[in-house]
Amino acid sequence: MKSNTKHAECCSHDTDKPLEHFENLTDHTDHDGHDHGSPKPSWKSHWDLLLALLILVIMLSLEYGFDILFTGTANLIVYGIAYLLAGWRVLNIAFRKLKRLDIFNEFFLMSIATIGAFLIGEYSEGVAVMVFYSIGEWFQDSAVNRAKNSIKALLDVRPDEVSVLRDGNELRVDPATVKIDEIIVIKPGEKVALDGQLVSENASFNTSALTGESKPATKYSGENILAGMINLSSVAEVKVTTLYSDSKLSKILSMVQDATARKSQTQLFISKFAKVYTPIVFFLALAVCLLPYFFVDNYDFNTWFYRSLVFLVISCPCALVVSIPLGYFGGIGLASRHGILFKGGNFLDVMTKINVVVMDKTGTLTKGVFKVQEVVADDIGKSELLRLASTLEKNSTHPVARAIVEFAKGEEDTKAEKVEEIAGHGMKGIIEGMTVLAGNVKLMQKFSVDYPKEIEKIVDTTVLIALDNIYAGYITIADEIKDDAAKTISELHKLNIKTVMLSGDKQSVVNNVAKMIGIGSAYGDLLPAEKVAKVEELKNSGFHLAFVGDGVNDAPVVALADAGIAMGGLGSDATIETADIVIQNDHPYKVVSAILIGKITRNVVWQNIILAMVVKVVVLSLGAGGVATLWEAVIADVGVAFLAILNAVRIQKMTV
């Protein structure tokens, strides 16, 4: 699990109801009736606000278009009705907060400002402030709901029903009721509901919901099939290996949904800022109203009271407290659409500071699909050497071990006993009474086994085998570099990011891969503890570091890095749990995309902060000086919020 230091930035949250956390997007959300997470508002649910707007337009048209003026009482009644229609929700929330002695919030500010306008006879401006403020709130609700629905649609890839074979019959049932080892049937065009292994000979699947990749993937009998994939070809049968609630997709959905509850440092700052900022502007508004009495000749209370109302309206912090979290949520949504899962908005910030990316080799920069190249035996038959090696390696999930087992298919084998996997070295076990060792040269050295030293010069990955501590031969295995590995390293260098490769493979192999893809520094022959030491060395040198790995053995380094990135996270539950960011496919270029998405999000967030603060300072100054009216104040406030939210929403439409 990740260290407490990194997750201290995350707010506490209820993991049983992850989507509900978005309803608490900011402190701006109120549970007394003003909820940005409520069902999507429609014009029918805001008929009162629209009617108030119509009344305001008619009254202003009569006054300025036809010079028709109502008497004082009639004016008050008509505008009063419009005011209550537009503002009853705001007034209700303000009253409830007042009962809790919470007066430093935007609802109370708007209530005071608009009631004050009525007290000095500025009815039309009081109604205008409430109408346009409420329209702005309506727009904010809609923007938040669109973002929430967008992420729901992105993640809602689990079907509600599944076909299962029971007693020779095909039944449609709830996926949650399907048990392990049952056979489910996926027809062409259907989504897979549960993780399992393909029973049919072969089938083609669309994996875009999981990986962001549109290219179909052909799977063969015995290969893993994951929930969320879509069957593209003939009817496919899958043997269930994981319960519905435990599927990798379910865990990923919870992870991304929980990410909305984890606030970035900027979000946390804005929340704290708003709590300090609001009371300050409230008392400044009082000062604007009362202090001139002591310094201004011919002081007129109504004039300065009006200026203080302008001050209150423009000071509303809505644009900041809504648009900024919405920006981070947009970044999480954009990343998810590209198959990159951030565990919180705080990690979007972290990625903008990264100046060194450390990568594992196998499965990260190489495909991790090893193939046996050569079997060399010494005083033992090749088939016998291969049989003993595969019998031992069947007990390991390492890609090298799988390659040997795959190559040895058809060979008669027995069962290995007292099997021990020695991290960074290889395997040890008892087969037919013999102690069998299979691993790298460090394993041979550990058990004092003599071997031909020229083996160390072989470029390919080499597995040495010893029987009862006597060298018996070796197997060479080759891996293939991923298509986008060189491009990834090149783009990272263009971003002035240092690249380092750490691997447990031998140095000659590591050097060869590093040369082919242009990586900066490469270290081989490393045990897990030595990888940790290298990362600590880089961190102690002042680097902000991201580590990219794909296996359980990388967990300690992933936990230590500023940003731990799991490559091919769908293949390792432990990696998903440990990493801060999960790349759902095996493409290293997604690391570049993650950095770019972090920078896009940061830029948009700071654009919103600067825009909101500059406009507010200007209009606050104009209002205090008597230049700006309530009309300018409300238009500036709603306009800034409108522009900031539009700016935040557009993140989800960007490409990287």
What digits encode the pLDDT tens for the residues 140-179? 677 666 655 655 555 555 677 889 998 888 899 988 899 9
Same domain? 469 vs 492 = no
Most confident of 59-68, 159-168, 566-575: 159-168
pLDDT bin (cut points 50, 70, 90) of residue 22 is very low
Same domain? 376 vs 429 = yes
Same domain? 391 vs 262 = no
pLDDT at residue 28 greater than cutoff 60: no
Structure confidence at residue 325 (pLDDT): 75
Q: Is residue 350 in some structural domain?
A: yes
**CA distances from residue 19 to 154, 236, 294, 325, 445 in whole angstroms, order as listed:** 13, 33, 54, 15, 54
Q: Is residue 94 in some structural domain?
A: yes
What are residue 357's phi and psi, to 5 degrees? Answer: -115, 120
pLDDT bin (cut points 50, 70, 90) of residue 17 is very low
CATH code at position 524: 3.40.50.1000
**CA distances from residue 521 to 219, 356, 366, 502, 514 in whole angstroms, order as listed:** 36, 11, 16, 9, 8
User: For a pLDDT cut of 70, what percent of the chain falls above it?
Assistant: 81
CB contact at 8 A, 50 and 43 = yes
Same domain? 573 vs 648 = no
CB contact at 8 A, 155 and 253 = yes
Same domain? 376 vs 439 = yes
Find the catalytic residue in 141, 349, 360, 479.
360
Q: Give the residue from 243, 264, 283 where a domain finishes.
A: 243
| Nearest-angstrom CA–CA distance, 234 and 188 | 6
Burial of 634 (0-12, 13-18, 19+ CB in 10 A): buried
CATH code at position 208: 2.70.150.10
pLDDT at residue 595 greater than cutoff 60: yes
pLDDT at residue 466 greater than cutoff 70: yes
Same domain? 454 vs 549 = no
CB contact at 8 A, 451 and 442 = no
Structure confidence at residue 264 (pLDDT): 57
Most confident of 31-45, 97-111, 166-180, 551-565: 166-180
CATH code at position 391: 3.40.1110.10
Give the torsion sign (CA, 116, 119, 125, 127): positive
Same domain? 371 vs 361 = no
Domain assignment of residue 632, given as a range: 256-332+598-653
Query: Which amino acid, 440?
Result: N
Same domain? 465 vs 608 = no
Structure confidence at residue 309 (pLDDT): 81
Helix H or strand E encompassing 376: strand 371-377
pTM value is 0.65
DSSP-assigned states of every residue in 380-424? S-HHHHHHHHHHHHTT---HHHHHHHHHTTTS-----EEEEEETT
Query: Which amino acid, 540?
Result: N
Q: Is residue 607 in some structural domain?
A: yes
The arithmetic mean of pLDDT across residues 4-30, rounded, is 36
The arithmetic mean of pLDDT across residues 53-81, rounded, is 84
Structure confidence at residue 251 (pLDDT): 65
In this structure, what DSSP letter does residue 149 have? H
The pLDDT tens digits of the residues spanning 96-126 come to 888 888 777 677 777 887 887 787 777 887 7
Instruction: Provide the mean pLDDT of the chain.
Output: 79
Q: Give the residue from 584, 606, 637 where a domain finishes.
A: 584
Same domain? 461 vs 376 = yes
pLDDT at residue 566 greater than cutoff 70: yes
pLDDT bin (cut points 50, 70, 90) of residue 580 is confident
Comparing CA positions, the residue from 333, 293, 352 lying closest to residue 148 is 333
Structure confidence at residue 252 (pLDDT): 62
Structure confidence at residue 504 (pLDDT): 80
| Nearest-angstrom CA–CA distance, 403 and 398 | 9
Beta bridge partners of 429: 436
The arithmetic mean of pLDDT across residues 179-198, rounded, is 89
Q: Give the residue from 537, 561, 584 where a domain finishes.
A: 584
Helices and strands, number each (H, E), in the chain: 22, 22
Q: Is residue 424 in some structural domain?
A: yes
Q: Is residue 465 in some structural domain?
A: yes
Higher pLDDT, 52 or 214: 52
Q: Is residue 341 in some structural domain?
A: no
Three-state SS sequence of 588-639: CHHHHHHHHHHHHHHHHHHHHHHHHHHHHHHHHHHHHCCCCCHHHHHHHHHH
Q: Is residue 338 in some structural domain?
A: no
Structure confidence at residue 609 (pLDDT): 85
Query: Which amino acid, 13?
Result: H
Helix H or strand E encompassing 78: helix 72-99
Lowest mean pLDDT among 56-70, 95-109, 152-166, 636-650: 152-166
The arithmetic mean of pLDDT across residues 427-456, rounded, is 92
pLDDT at residue 465 greater than cutoff 90: yes
pLDDT at residue 72 greater than cutoff 70: yes
Structure confidence at residue 260 (pLDDT): 52
Q: Is residue 1 in some structural domain?
A: no
Most confident of 55-64, 75-84, 141-150: 75-84
Same domain? 419 vs 509 = no
The pLDDT tens digits of the residues spanning 503-549 come to 887 788 888 889 999 998 999 888 778 888 999 999 999 999 999 98
First to last CA, the chain: 30
Same domain? 143 vs 268 = no
| Nearest-angstrom CA–CA distance, 618 and 392 | 75
Is 460 annotated in the active site? no
The pLDDT tens digits of the residues spanning 390-431 come to 999 888 877 788 889 888 876 656 788 898 988 778 899 999
Quote the tokens at residue 615.
Answer: 């406009």
Name, in order, each residue with C-beta under 8 angstroms of 312's C-beta and a sequence gap of 6 or more: 109, 110, 112, 113, 116, 281, 282, 285
Count of domains forming the chain: 5
Structure confidence at residue 34 (pLDDT): 44
Same domain? 357 vs 504 = yes
| Nearest-angstrom CA–CA distance, 307 and 620 | 9
